[in-house]
Amino acid sequence: MNARYDWTIEEMRLVLFLIAKINPSDIDFKPYTVRIKDFANFFGLKGNDQYGQVRNITKNLMKKVMELDLEEGILQVAWLAHAQYIK
C-alpha cells in the first residue's frame, strides 16, 4: 500500500483506536462499538461537546479514501464506512 494521508491528530487517534479493537483472528469485516466516553477519556477530549467533536472526526474520515494497488487494479476504500450514534 502506497499512500499519503493528510489527517488531523484526532483522526489518526481514532483510526488507531479502532485498529486496536480488531481481533487478529477475524476473517470478515464486522461492526465495532466504541463508547464516546471511553474514546474521549482515553484521548483527553475536553469540553461539553465530546459527541460533536467525535462526530466531526468520523464525518471527516468518511471523506478520506485509501487506495490499494492490487494485481488486478486499484481498489479505493473509505477509511470509515459508517458511524452510528445512539442517543
Tens-place pLDDT, residues 55-66: 899 999 999 888
Q: Which of the pair, 73 or 27, is modelled with greater confidence?
A: 73
**Average pLDDT estimate for 76-81:** 86
pLDDT tens digit sequence for 3-44:
556 788 888 888 888 888 888 888 887 777 888 888 888 878
Burial of residue 19 (CB within 10 Å: 0-12, 13-18, 19+) is exposed
The C-alpha cell of 36 is what? Answer: 464516546
Whether the Cβ atoms of residue 61 and residue 11 lie closer than 8 Å to each other: yes
pLDDT of residue 1: 47
Q: Which of the pair, 45 or 12, is modelled with greater confidence?
A: 12
Spatial separation of the C-alpha atoms in residues 42 and 50, rounded to whole Å: 12
Spatial separation of the C-alpha atoms in residues 33 and 84, rounded to whole Å: 9
Residue 36: phi and psi, rounded to 5, are -55, -40
